[in-house]
Structure 1
Amino acid sequence: MEKVIESFRTSFEALYLDIIDLMPNLLVSLFVLVVGIVIIRSLKSVVVNRLVSRSKDPVGARFLADILIFIFFIILVFIIFRTLGLSALTQTIIGAAGITTFIIGFALKDIGENFLAGIVMIFDRPFEMGDLIEIEGRIGRVIRISIRETTIKTVDGKDVYIPNSDIIKKHFINYTIDDQLRESFDISISNSNDIRQVIEIIYEVVAAVPHLLKTQKPTVTIKNFEGGTVQLSITYWYSLLGAQRRNALLKNEVMLAVIEKMKEDSIGFPNDVQDINIFKKD
């Protein structure tokens, strides 16, 4: 037992002496780390502002700025290694595995995967800044694209951070790639009406609603008929017009215009029929 305690004491003393010997380098390295982070953060704002202001492609410019800042951080790590007296280790890492392998290993697998996915997105461009997209049920405007993640602002004002690898791997919907969206709703009328005339009336009403796309004509089709009623399906196209959410108010406007015109022309609606079963109790 005494030998174990003595061995532990000797190891602890050796470790303590090593830390004392390394303390000056540790303090210098800590100072270099703090100063380096402050400088890199200051450079980041300058680089981003200059690249974005001078570039015709703000997304690509911001992505390039993120890559430059990432490289600055790697250089800072190498400087700290040298300050700690680990320059030989740094050369061994670079010579054995290569700088690219070291960066990806340093950034961990997920960060490296998101980084590569971000590069693919910059060249492929599945969406642009301000586009309305949906991924896994989350709908929002793209407000930022970085080397690791894409940020969207949802219709209820929340910022959602989506890893770039998820966007590459999973299905997503871009509602504004051509800024043409289709909406539809159904309405039931009595079959005692002149159905052809009703269809023509609804078509004219919907076509006259402001803010609808004139390049895509609305449609009014018979969806179903049974029990003395005819169900019509009305479809129209619209643009988001720069709105921050899908325009539900526009649908209200279209539906109100249709129902008001139908009431004005005394178009009959089906009565609410309920089946009542009467059982005789013995």
Structure 2
Amino acid sequence: MRDLVDIEPVAIIADQIGGILQSMVAFIPQGLAALLVLLVTWIAAKLVGILFAKFPFRSRVRPSLVEVLRTLVTIAVWMLGLLIAAVLAMPNLTPTKVLAGLGLGSLAIGLAFKDIFENFIAGLMILLRDPMRLGDYIECEGIEGRVQKITIRDSYIRRTDGQLVMVPNAMLFKNPVFVKTDLEERRMTLICGVAYGENVDAAREVITQAVQSVDAVSDTLPIQVFAREFNSSSIDFEITWWTGSRPIDERVSRDKVIAAVKHALDAAGIEIPFPYRTLTFKEDLRIRADAPASGGNPEAPPSVESS
């Protein structure tokens, strides 16, 4: 009982508080060193941003790639600074232990965010490979439009109807991408038929001159008109020409070429046939010529009735 009575709670608490204060005082140099390292890291990260903003290679590299490189370097600077600050603040924490913890954490994060990292790597490959530029018109997996922005995770495609589509970079990296504006001009094709009774060479000449007269057709690349096939009611010509590669250039050029060919064939008296249809009856037909057709039109053909 005497031992229990001799316990002094106040002394015990005072000893504990004293130990805590001593630990805090001992931690002050380490904490100040860690804070100094963090301050230097912050200044270094700011300098990285300034250097990337003023570096001469910006004029030769796409802005999205410059922004990605700046972000990656900034993250690397901060990770290094935090690692040094943690080792200074906690001497028992060695760099080996920190790196091991980062490795396990990175593995868990990688498994949890697999799709995000996949799109991240695909975004880097797209930016480094330079398969398409901002403003290009592309088509991929049924999505067609103008490349408006390329980020690390996805690309922004503005469709011709005004809708914005955010496409994951992994989709653009894994599937075929048609870059329609890779060249300034693009070849167009149109099929036009003339009647079997028309002269093929004369029709070809009329069509060629009509296409040449269109201002939306390139005059630096050849216009080609070839007889293609014997169709059911016409001889078809394949007309090819070159025009601007944008979708609006394609539509305007096609509209003007169709109108010019139609006017030229009409002026030359060359028939553009419509499908002919032949009707076959099982029974003989009698032609009734005793009365004109409905409406009193004397030029209307006589009516036909089955026997």
TM-score range, shorter chain: 0.5 to 0.7
d(CA) in 2 for partners of 1:163, 1:190: 51
* 3-state SS in 1 of match to 2:59: coil
1:122 maps onto 2:136 in alignment: no
Aligned with 2:113: secondary structure?
helix
- Counterpart of 1:187 (choices 184, 192, 196) is 192
What residue in structure 1 maps to residue 67 of structure 2?
A: 65
The CA distance in 2 between the partners of 1:52 and 1:253, in whole Å, is: 48
Cα gap change, 1:192/1:148 in structure 2, threshold over 3 Å: closer, same or farther?
Answer: same
What's the counterpart of residue 174 of structure 1? 179
Question: Secondary structure in 1 aligned to 2:198?
Answer: coil
Structure number with the bigger relative contact order (C-alpha 8 A, sep ≥ 6) is 1
Residue number in structure 2 paired with 1:108: 113
Q: Which has the larger radius of gyration?
A: 2
1:275 to 275, 278, 281: 278
* 2:234 is equivalent to residue 232 of structure 1: no
- Indicate the residue corresponding to 1:138 in structure 2: 143
Q: CA deviation at 1:181?
A: 1.5
Do the aligned partners of 1:140 and 1:153 also contact (CA within 8 Å) in 2? yes
Deviation of the 1:63 alpha carbon: 2.5
Distance 1:279 1:246, change over 3 A: same
Give the Cα separation in 2 of the matches to 1:191 and 1:198. 11
Report the CA distance shift for 1:105/1:270 in structure 2 as closer, same or farther (over 3 A). Answer: closer
CA contact (8 A) 1:141 1:244 kept: no
In 1, the alpha carbon distance for the partners of 2:73 and 2:107 equals 12
1:212 maps onto 2:214 in alignment: no
Task: Name the counterpart of 1:149.
Answer: 154
CA shift at 1:244, angstroms? 6.3
Deviation at 1:157, TM superposition (A): 0.7
Deviation at 1:127, TM superposition (A): 0.7
Name the count of aligned residue pairs. 234
Aligned CA-pair RMSD: 3.9
Residues 114 and 165, structure 1, Cα contact 8 Å, conserved in 2: yes
TM-score (norm 1): 0.68
Contact 2:233 2:274 in 1 (8 A): no
Specify which of 170, 174, 182 is matched with residue 165 of structure 1.
170
Determine if contact 2:233/2:276 at 8 Å carries over to the other structure. no
Structure 2 residue identity aligned to 1:215: T
Shift of the alpha carbon at 1:106? 8.8
- Paired position in structure 2 for 1:55: 58
- Given that residues 151 and 162 in structure 1 are in contact (C-alpha distance below 8 angstroms), is that contact kept between their aligned partners in structure 2? yes
TM-score computed with the length of structure 2 as normaliser: 0.63
Per-residue deviation, residues 114-145 of structure 1 (Å, max 9, x unmatched): 22112222221111111110000111111111
Counterpart residue type for residue 70 of structure 2: L
Matched residue, 1:25: none
In structure 1, give the amino acid aligned to 2:208: Y
Amino acid corresponding to residue 151 of structure 2 in structure 1: S
8 Å contact from structure 1 (residues 135, 171) kept in 2? yes
Shift of 1:268: 2.1
3-state SS, counterpart of residue 55 of structure 1: helix
Q: Residues 148-179 of structure 1: CA distance to partner in whole angstroms, max 9, x if unpaired?
A: 11111011111111111111111111111122
